[in-house]
Structure 1
Amino acid sequence: MKRSFESGNALFFILIAVVMLAALSFAVMQGSRGGAESLSAEKTRLVATEILEYADVVAKAVAQTRLRGFEDTQISFENSAVGGYANANCTDEQCKIFSPSGGGVNYIAPNAEGLDQASAAATTFVNAANLYGQWFFPRRTCVRNVGIGSNDCAGNGLDDAELMIVLPWVKQEVCIKINDLLGVDNPSGSPPSVGGSTFLGEKFQGNYNPLATNLALALENTSACFYHSSLNAGPGLGYFYYKVLIAR
């Protein structure tokens, strides 16, 4: 009887070990899928707040640079992490937003937990896909009825593209929370939808493309997050946050 009892105990402990190993394997698999998983409500709010706060820091640095007497076309977003922002009009460190002698902003890559890598990988617009994990400063996007831009600011023939900061490929739940924090309406619980070309991947280097693309439809906000609903227009399907730094 004693030997039978000991055998039963051994089997019991083996079963416990198998269950614990399975649970550990599941936890590891879930962790490795973090980029595709939804965030908790608390984490979503934290990530959304981080995004808004960083954009505000950049906006304040831009405002301070203007107060030093620099024109908007002299402002440089050149940084050591992402290429393509060198501005020939900026001949002094003081007009560089990411220079200690200028705006004093540290370039910090956005939190990957708030980004949707799958949508970035799915788009056919390579320049837009390459913006994943970056802060983007476009040169040819206008927001309707902001600055001198009209209701159709892309087609009015004016040089009215805004200077703005954009975070491409945001997760849906983060996009919704951003709008909640900004007081922007999420129609039927979803971010406002925008069609047509919006961001084409052209980086600001001190000049604007007068053939601006348009943040149309429901957006007349200086800061918001929206869903780009056009599969065949840049940047493709996905959620995007923006903040106007200088309305033009």
Structure 2
Amino acid sequence: MNNLEKDQSRLGERGNVLFLILIAVALFAALSYAVTQSTRSSGGDAGKETNKISSAQLTQYPASVRTSIVRMIIGGQDVDTLEFNAPEDFTNCTESPPSSNRFPRCVFHPSGGGATHVTAPGSLMTNGNPGGWIFNGENEIENVGTTTTAGVASSTVDLIAFLPGVSQGVCESINEELGISTTQGDIQEDSIEYLSSSNMTNPNGSTATSLAAGGASIGETSTALVGQPFGCFYDSNGNADNGGAAQYIYYHVLVER
């Protein structure tokens, strides 16, 4: 083989090697793209799954409080006079009989409802801090209990647990799991009184609690929540007690009326 033939052979080999390198680069790029897309997809699925788990946690707690309240009502307690004092405020619950150290109206006291008083995990909340539940008797849900039209009356208000400040992802997951349509974006309710529990907390041991109309009807602004005993809505205007900050709120009916 002369020198010319040798040079041509080497050029052919180099061309083949270059071609193989280009194929390897293309395959590596394709593999990298596939891995990136898979990671992104897995990350999204993981986030969605986390929200589902969080939403399940959220619905379980008020359901347990509801069970305690049902036992209290069966035992003869009037829902109008239930007291939601926190453990550090048990001494202000109504003692009956006097000086007996028994507080039959107190939902969280061992001698009352025996319900557990807890805060919601920070992982469920927008600000990352534990969230406080509000037990309120000022609002109602349209088509829940005896209420079939919008409007609030003291005889038809529902006893509701509210958790203001949940994250958007958790809020959306809750409504999705409940089959509540959110195709038009956030479910807005702007007139609900969800930050005050004063009418359901005994401040001094002698002031009776009561269910009193002062809020609004959930389902009046957005029909998506009509007939829904629990769900999540968005308050775009914010509540005066919250400094007017917009936020997502989970609600759960404890007693329908």
CA contact (8 A) 1:77 1:85 kept: no
Alpha-carbon offset, residue 193 of structure 1: 1.6
Aligned-residue CA RMSD (Å): 2.9
Percent identity among equivalent residues?
22
Alpha-carbon offset, residue 201 of structure 1: 1.9
> CA deviation digits over 1:32-77, x for unaligned, max 9?
xxxxxxx822322222111111111111111111111111023221
Q: Which residue of the other structure, out of 208, 211, 235, is the alignment partner of 1:208?
A: 211
- Distance in 2 (CA, whole Å) between partners of 1:50 and 1:182 is 14
- Distance in 2 (CA, whole Å) between partners of 1:195 and 1:135 is 19
Aligned residue number for residue 244 of structure 1: 253
> Cα–Cα, structure 1 residues 144 and 106, in superposed 2: closer, same or farther, change >3 Å?
same
Alpha-carbon offset, residue 159 of structure 1: 3.2
Q: Which is greater in Rg?
A: 2
- Distance in 2 (CA, whole Å) between partners of 1:150 and 1:74 is 25
- Distance in 1 (CA, whole Å) between partners of 2:92 and 2:134 is 13
When the two structures are aligned, how many residues end up with a matched partner?
A: 194
Q: TM-score, normalized by length of structure 1?
A: 0.67
For the residue of structure 1 that corresponds to 2:136, the secondary structure is coil
1:85-164 alignment runs, 5 A limit? 86=92, 88=94, 92-117=102-127, 133-154=131-152, 157-164=153-160
> CA deviation digits over 1:121-175, x for unaligned, max 9?
xxxxxxxxxxx72010113112223223342223xx5532211111111101001
Q: Is there any run of 5+ residues in structure 1 with no aligned partner, and where?
A: 1-38, 121-131
CA contact (8 A) 2:192 2:215 kept: no
Question: Is it true that 1:171 corresponds to 2:161 in the alignment?
Answer: no
- Distance in 1 (CA, whole Å) between partners of 2:123 and 2:108 is 24
> CA deviation digits over 1:192-221, x for unaligned, max 9?
221334325243232022333232222221
1:6-85 alignment runs, 5 A limit? 40-80=47-87
Paired AA for residue 246 in structure 1: V
For the residue of structure 1 that corresponds to 2:253, the secondary structure is strand
- Distance in 1 (CA, whole Å) between partners of 2:238 and 2:116 is 34
CA contact (8 A) 1:196 1:233 kept: no
- Distance in 2 (CA, whole Å) between partners of 1:134 and 1:109 is 5
Q: Is there any run of 5+ residues in structure 2 with no aligned partner, and where?
A: 1-45, 202-208
